[in-house]
Amino acid sequence: MPEVGAADGAHPSRPPTEHVVYLDWLKFLVVYGIVVYHSSLPFSYGGGWLLASRDKSLVLTAFAGFTFPWGIPLLFLLSGAGVYFGLRTKTASAFLRKRILRLGLPLVAGIILLSPFQSYITSGIEPKTFGGMLAYYPQFLGSLRFDWTPQWLGRIGYHLWFLGYLLAITAATLPLLEWLRGEHGRRWVSRLARMSRNRAGILLFALPLVVSQLLLRYRFPAYQDWADVATYTLAFLAGYLLASDTRFAIAIRRRARFALVMGIVSSLAVGSMLLLSAGHPSMNSPADLPFYATYNLFWSLNIWSWCMAVLALGVIWLNRSNAVVRYGAESSLPVYIVHHPIVVILGSFIITWDLPLPMRFLLLVTCTMAITLAIYEFGIRRTNVTRFIFGLSPLGHRSDAASAPGPTTLSPALPIVGLGR
């Protein structure tokens, strides 16, 4: 069977046996980028977030609008790739048990400890006091009511909805992932990998996304509703598939320019159509169908093209492991959990200050990042109890990185190194 270290023209059908370092770089950069994204929201037009500055920034609005469609799908895609590597040495049941602890425990702890705090800060109750906050906790928790819409988790968990969605998607797709690990599944993945070598073959992955949005977006247009669940599920499955055969990385690298051009074109198309429809494209009558279908086509291509473009960035440029990426990758889950309430509490003060808007934004980003990393370094990383609560391996745990040989090479520009989950 061919080795992983095959050249571009070879037929490396064997799935990688080590963790791909550029995936760690991307996970690290995306999660830390989400800190910047959330810090931009108080200064963006459109409203709807927990905090709103009295003045707004077109630049920050453009940044938030550009990254919103594909940022979270990319995180689900990277999570799917991580699941592929996590399932290499575990049974499905053992993996799911570990996943429940790694995602479920921080989710429940966050809803109990962080959600009431964020709700209190943004509730409009004045004056805000420590005693008032303590009294608000049982009031918030006692008001929780289950709702069958998936948006329910976002309403009570704030940013922690991602953990719940990821856990649910992992559990729901696990039988399919198990099948893909088997003989028939590997043959099917191999056929997809061969197809990806064609000029537009990598776009085949976008087809299910286009179909799902055409069928679901008109009925469930809201954020985090079923149309978004379909997007996240398909991105998760795509990440698993892309990690399972090295030929996909070669295809992504070869089509980097194509993905970038498609991303720019689709972003411009989505932005233009949002302006034409006053920000709310819908299908209220059969006459709206052509516009609505075109919008959802470009919306889906926008998500997939930018995910592929960012993956290509990782494949081409982010191939070397170092202390920064190892620290950043390990800290990504705690940083994601902790940063949001810090943005909320700091933002509630900073947005009111009489400073230029760029300075307020930079202060919010810098202070949020500094406090979040301080909490991670001194409050989470150094004890096994806190590491367990935040989904980290125990201190001294010998990860795959410790035992994997590396780096080996997929091609001259695609080194792989073992970084365990």
Sign of CA dihedral 72, 224, 346, 279: positive
Tokens of 93: 């049941």
* Burial group, residue 348, by CB count within 10 angstroms (0-12, 13-18, 19+): middle
pLDDT of residue 156: 92
Decide: 418 and 400 in contact? Cβ < 8 Å.
yes
Residues shown for the chain? 421
CA 265 to each of CA 261, 272, 301, 303, 306: distance values in angstroms, whole numbers, following the listed order: 6, 11, 9, 12, 11
pLDDT of residue 9: 37
Any idea what the Cα angle at residue 182 is, between residues 178 and 184, rounded to 5°? 120
Only one residue has tokens 């209190």, namely 120
- State the 10-residue block means of pLDDT for the chain, 421 residues long: 34 53 95 97 88 94 95 97 90 92 94 92 83 88 84 92 97 96 92 85 85 91 93 97 92 92 96 85 77 93 96 93 94 96 95 96 98 97 93 73 32 31 35
Identify which of 67, 68, 103, 111 has the alpha carbon closest to the alpha carbon of residue 83. 103
pLDDT of residue 19: 62
Q: Tell me, what DSSP letter sits at residue 244?
A: S
- How far is 379 from 392, CA to CA, in rounded Å? 13
Per DSSP, the three-state class of 408 is strand
pLDDT of residue 7: 34
pLDDT of residue 1: 32
